[in-house]
Chain A
Amino acid sequence: MMLNHPLRTKTLTALLIVILMSLSLTAAQAQDRLDDLRLVNAQRATVFLMQTYDASGTQALSCSGSGTLISNDGLILTNAHLADPVGPCQGERIIVALPIRLDEPPVPKYLAQIVQVDHQLDLAVMRIVASLDGSLIEPNSLNLPFVSLGDPSGLLPGNALTTIGYPSLGAGGVEAVEQTITAITAESSSGDKSWLRVDTPLPGTKSGGGAYDLNGRLVGIPTGMPGTDGSERGPECISINDTNRDSLIDLRDSCVPIPAEVTAIRPVRPALPMIEAGRNQFELATFRGTPPAPPIDPPLIERMLFSTAVNEQGQVTRLVSKLPSGARNLYMAFSYQNMVTGIPYEIRVSRDGADLPQFSLGPLSWGGGRNGTWYVGFEDQQIPDGSYEFTIYLFGQPEASASIVVGGREEEPIFSDIRLGIADPSGNLINTGRVLPSEVPQIDAVYQVENMAEGQTWTEVWYFDTVEVSRNTFVWSGPPQAQSRSIAVNSGGLRAGRYRVELLIGDRLAAFGETTLAGPPTPDRQSAIFSNARIASDISRDGEPNGVVGQVMPLDVQSLYLFVDWDLMPTNTAWTYRWFLDGRLVASRTQRWNAGSVGENFWVSLSADDPLPEGSYAVEVLVENRPMFSQSVTIGAGTQPTSGIEGEGDEVFITGTVVDALTGDGIPGALVMVLNVEFESPQFTWNEEDILTQAITDREGRFALARGLARANFFTMYVFAEDYITIIEDNFTIFSDQESPADILVEMSQP
């Protein structure tokens, strides 16, 4: 009766709507942040890393930062500059400290070694190898908390992240900060999603830690580098050790370089092959050629250019000297020489004299090699009008700068989208790219022309291995918008080497393109650098294939060697080899060619201390990112067990406490073990082969099983302790919706 009253009905309806809105708002808020269980797990998996060295007989700290455990057997993902003694970090030992209590400083527990490193990404995978006292550790005996890897490719500005790391030099507990992605920065290091930028700067010691999505999966690594080389004390280099043993910690002691702040997060996806290689304990090696001499001259930055586009090969393709209002893409490219891996570099951007942190980048650890071109830029971002100055800093000192004005309308002439290739008789490019066959009579550079005024002078310059070989100046007589072409010709065939064409409008560099001519041409005008590829299980003393050679290998091989002959491969050309296991990229490395122009039996290898896992392997070789050939081989029957990364989601990790049923006191030294899923107690042979996982309780009766238990299964669990009745449970059930990790209580009684 009362509800029939229209006013009351409306009031109730309104109330209901308010409640529903509140509930949905609460639910939405709940989804904006990592839930507590996942947060705690991620915090527990975050380690503090310290590089130390011997300073007059005492262990001094060289460098420190954060890292994240990505497997329970001790694999750690962190920054390369924290793991590898490069740049200002010159440590001899890497100490891993764990957050035993989350609110307390981490406790040093282990020594770690690098297993994979990629300086271009500034990422490294390390493995815990020993206790602090140096006694070696069997990885399978570890049972550490770890996080799963997520997919950062879908992250966009505005998405939430939680960053976790250590906010100070080991003085405080692990800290989680909720952040928002403000921008995405492109860079030569990893393409258009090289860096996720966050709103709140993080303390420098969080570099190497983790950034997590809402599912608690690791999607990125906060990355920052001290701006100095660690030789001088200052805000970014703190003296905390009495390294000169004068009983004082002062300016005369070596300091520990600490990044001022971190605002860049390296997405984790490009590191997946490296992690796979680390997980499988793969080691990569290649034929040793003649290594280049280390640079003597100081690093040199030159030819800073601006562009509004970058192609797939990482080349800037639309150079500009100014930008119209409303432009949303901007890249700054530069050439460099004599750079050294690990040195701190930084790009600072200001607009009309005011710093723009969101456009700046670094300081970061240099990973681009010795010579080359590099770019940094932004896509699809609002760029307000003004005069932008880009300054490149090395070791905290400005090295080069360039300015560009944003505003007004686009009117300047532009040569864009330059492509070098081989043309068919009708002039169409049939083969383009960074690698073309040598000995062809002609290569063409085709480009688009915009806003070109009649009578405008322009120049084309061709270089061969950095030496200018031709320069021609023309007066434009075509339409303002057109396709144009420059040609390098040698009727006797162009020599193998690096070719570069530069196009200038007036004195301004308007476009440039590069290609490498290598290998004799095939009938379809492809480059045939490599031939006679074969795979062997071993290598002889004189570098010949040895052991089993062919497409099928026995199960116990520990190495795979790819042998190949090569022809007309220019020295210093960037080349890459990639190993695949069952279609998954498991290892990749890019190097500069140093084995000479022609030769036989160049090799690359993939090996491990244990026999390589069964499966189908393939190795692919690329030159200047262009696939050249691939070769496959099968080990055993070719069936690969499920990858650890894929399998983790279906398992529940069990932790718990074993207590005396009558006193409630923990029982130390009790053995908790779970049989393989196919065994029940009557079938148990008391052979440890039948055991899936086991753990011994600590002084409080706590334990953590090293391996997870598959969901939707029954297991047999045994709990042994002296003077207590052994517990044998054949129906230890893991339901399909069971949360992981699960904490259980086991009560034991005495007879």
Chain B
Amino acid sequence: MGCRSTLILKALQGLATMPAMSKQHQTCLVCGERLEEPHVYGDRLYCETHLSQFSDDLAALWQTGLLILLSLAVLVGTIAIANAVAPNPSGPTRLLANALVIGLPSIGWLILITQRLDGEDGAAPSLVSALFVLGSLMAAAVVRPLTNEILALGGRLAATSPANRFVANVLILGMLHAFVLYGIVRYSVWRTTSFSLRVHGVLYASAAGLGYAATQVGLFALERGGLSMLSGGLTLLTRALPFATASLIVGYFLGINRFENQPFYYLPSGVALAGAVCGVLLYAGTELNNIRLNITTDGFSPWPGFVVNVLALTIAFGAVYGLLQRQNTITKARLRLRG
């Protein structure tokens, strides 16, 4: 833990004192080795090894991601069955059920991915875990106090119109969440030797995002003394998915920008896009659930928001996967052309 803390500190210090790259100090972007004849790609300098490696894929990432996405269906089925058996358990049972709903996809993914990372792909399982924890800590120690206590957004959002709620979700909450997810990766692992593949952006951002999401919704459930089985369980997932989606987008942009010099607005655009998507999905996750109120319908259903957010995550997952594959293919093609 001490080493990880040092890493973060150094990374943050490095931000302030980072020297400019110059021809006198030509080093590999990934490993930092001094280069006599550097390879240039996208205005970045690489050693030969890393030039050929950074566009490699990380199949484990997509496989575990897909597995988690598919496991959501199983989880929802289990929730539905549990709801039929005990729709509204009380006390510790509720919290335990909520913890399982939150923990199975997030910690499950973490265990799977750390098991699958073998070291040869450049990523460190320990860093993945560290980012998961960092995301979790940021959510608990910084973001929730900021949004709930200082900005008091919960009560104020409730008291305003849907349009204002949408704007606030996008401009305040979405941007904040996206920035925090971006910051966690950007100011820790982004400039280290362990960020050696484009897909590592998605890997590390996903780790941070899942830790962040699990803690956000975990505390949400804890503050309410545990949520009901079906509505509560689905809502926990619904509220967690926007963070996962935002982390995929942030990870993609960080991954691209890490290995190719991009215009200055590239990363801000990526973060803004992630923030907007996160905000829209947070809004949709709550507002779409407010259905018609009548004598026989109670004005709420946990399904619409959940379905929309699952679809959004799936689309984001597919898009990021597709775009990264495309980028990597192009890169490899260009490198082959160079000989």
Chain A bound to chain B = yes
Q: Which residues of A contact B (CB under 8 A)?
A: 654, 660-664, 717, 719, 722-727, 729, 731-734, 738, 742, 744-751
Q: Which of B235, B292, B298, B302 counts the most A-chain CB atoms under 10 A from its CB? A: B298
Task: List A contacts of B154 (CB < 8 A).
Answer: 723, 750-751
Task: List A contacts of B158 (CB < 8 A).
Answer: 722-726, 750-751
Task: List B contacts of A748 (CB < 8 A).
Answer: 299-300
Contact with A along B274-308 (1 / 0, CB 8 A): 00000000000011011011110011101000000
Cα A408 to Cα B159 in complex, Å, equals 89
User: Given A662-B224, A662-B235, A751-B157: A733 and B295 within 8 A (CB)?
Assistant: yes
Give chain B nearest CB distance to A716 CB in angstroms: 10
Task: List B contacts of A742 (CB < 8 A).
Answer: 295
Q: Which of B154, B158, B224, B227 counts the most A-chain CB atoms under 10 A from its CB? A: B158
Our pick among A664, A722, A734, A747 for the contact of B295 (Cβ within 8 Å) is A734
Cα A726 to Cα B294 in complex, Å, equals 15
Are A747 and B300 in touch, CB under 8 angstroms? yes
Are B235 and A747 in touch, CB under 8 angstroms? no
The chain B residue with its CB closest to the CB of A733 is B294
The chain A residue with its CB closest to the CB of B173 is A751
Q: Which residues of B contact A (CB under 8 A)?
A: 88, 153-155, 157-159, 165, 169, 224-228, 231-232, 235, 286-287, 289-290, 292-295, 298-300, 302
Our pick among B159, B227, B228, B292 for the contact of A731 (Cβ within 8 Å) is B292
A-B residue pairs, 6 tightest by C-beta: A747-B300, A751-B157, A729-B293, A661-B300, A745-B298, A662-B227
Cα A749 to Cα B292 in complex, Å, equals 13
Please list 19 pairs of residues, one from A and one from B, whose beta carbons are closer than 8 Å in the complex, sorted by A's number. Answer: A660-B224, A661-B231, A662-B231, A662-B235, A663-B224, A664-B88, A723-B155, A723-B158, A725-B290, A726-B158, A727-B290, A733-B294, A734-B295, A747-B231, A749-B290, A750-B154, A750-B158, A751-B154, A751-B286
User: Given A727-B299, A747-B300, A751-B165: A732 and B232 within 8 A (CB)?
Assistant: no
Are B298 and A746 in touch, CB under 8 angstroms? yes
Are B228 and A662 in touch, CB under 8 angstroms? yes
Task: List A contacts of B289 (CB < 8 A).
Answer: 661, 749
Task: List A contacts of B232 (CB < 8 A).
Answer: 662-663
Task: List B contacts of A724 (CB < 8 A).
Answer: 158
Give chain B nearest CB distance to A580 CB in angstroms: 40
Are A663 and B290 in touch, CB under 8 angstroms? no
Task: List A contacts of B165 (CB < 8 A).
Answer: 725, 751
Our pick among A725, A738, A747 for the contact of B298 (Cβ within 8 Å) is A747
User: Given A727-B293, A733-B295, A749-B290: A722 and B155 within 8 A (CB)?
Assistant: yes
Our pick among A664, A729, A747, A751 for the contact of B294 (Cβ within 8 Å) is A729
Chain A contact residues: helix, strand, loop or mixed: strand
18 further contact pairs, Cβ within 8 A, besides A663-B225, A727-B299: A660-B224, A661-B231, A662-B227, A663-B224, A664-B228, A664-B231, A722-B155, A723-B155, A727-B290, A732-B295, A744-B294, A746-B293, A746-B299, A749-B235, A750-B286, A751-B158, A751-B165, A751-B286
Cα A746 to Cα B295 in complex, Å, equals 9
Cα A750 to Cα B302 in complex, Å, equals 13
Cα A272 to Cα B144 in complex, Å, equals 64
Our pick among A663, A731, A749 for the contact of B226 (Cβ within 8 Å) is A663
Task: List B contacts of A731 (CB < 8 A).
Answer: 292, 294
Are B228 and A663 in touch, CB under 8 angstroms? yes
Task: List A contacts of B88 (CB < 8 A).
Answer: 664
Give chain B nearest CB distance to A185 CB in angstroms: 46
The chain B residue with its CB closest to the CB of A659 is B298
Are A749 and B300 in touch, CB under 8 angstroms? yes
Cα A725 to Cα B286 in complex, Å, equals 9
Task: List A contacts of B228 (CB < 8 A).
Answer: 662-664
Cα A723 to Cα B231 in complex, Å, equals 18
Are A732 and B293 in touch, CB under 8 angstroms? yes
Task: List B contacts of A749 (CB < 8 A).
Answer: 235, 286, 289-290, 300
Cα A727 to Cα B300 in complex, Å, equals 10
Give chain A nearest CB distance to B181 CB in angstroms: 21
Cα A729 to Cα B155 in complex, Å, equals 21
Give chain B nearest CB distance to A379 CB in angstroms: 49
Give chain B nearest CB distance to A730 CB in angstroms: 10
The chain A residue with its CB closest to the CB of B155 is A723
Cα A281 to Cα B235 in complex, Å, equals 53
Task: List B contacts of A719 (CB < 8 A).
Answer: 293, 299
Task: List A contacts of B169 (CB < 8 A).
Answer: 751
Task: List B contacts of A738 (CB < 8 A).
Answer: 295
Give chain A nearest CB distance to B213 CB in angstroms: 17
Task: List B contacts of A663 (CB < 8 A).
Answer: 224-228, 232
Cα A88 to Cα B159 in complex, Å, equals 59
Give chain B nearest CB distance to A257 CB in angstroms: 48
Q: Which of A654, A726, A734, A749 counts the most B-chain CB atoms under 10 A from its CB? A: A749
Task: List B contacts of A734 (CB < 8 A).
Answer: 295
Give chain B nearest CB distance to A666 CB in angstroms: 12
Task: List B contacts of A717 (CB < 8 A).
Answer: 293
Task: List B contacts of A746 (CB < 8 A).
Answer: 293, 298-299
Task: List A contacts of B287 (CB < 8 A).
Answer: 725
Cα A744 to Cα B293 in complex, Å, equals 9
Are B224 and A729 in touch, CB under 8 angstroms? no
Give chain A nearest CB distance to B313 CB in angstroms: 20
Cα A738 to Cα B290 in complex, Å, equals 24
Cα A732 to Cα B299 in complex, Å, equals 11
User: Given A723-B158, A749-B300, A751-B286: A744 and B227 within 8 A (CB)?
Assistant: no
The chain B residue with its CB closest to the CB of A652 is B295
Cα A751 to Cα B227 in complex, Å, equals 15
Cα A744 to Cα B232 in complex, Å, equals 20
Give chain A nearest CB distance to B249 CB in angstroms: 23
Task: List A contacts of B300 (CB < 8 A).
Answer: 661, 747-749
Are A729 and B235 in touch, CB under 8 angstroms? no
Task: List A contacts of B231 (CB < 8 A).
Answer: 661-662, 664, 747
Cα A731 to Cα B294 in complex, Å, equals 8
Task: List A contacts of B227 (CB < 8 A).
Answer: 662-663
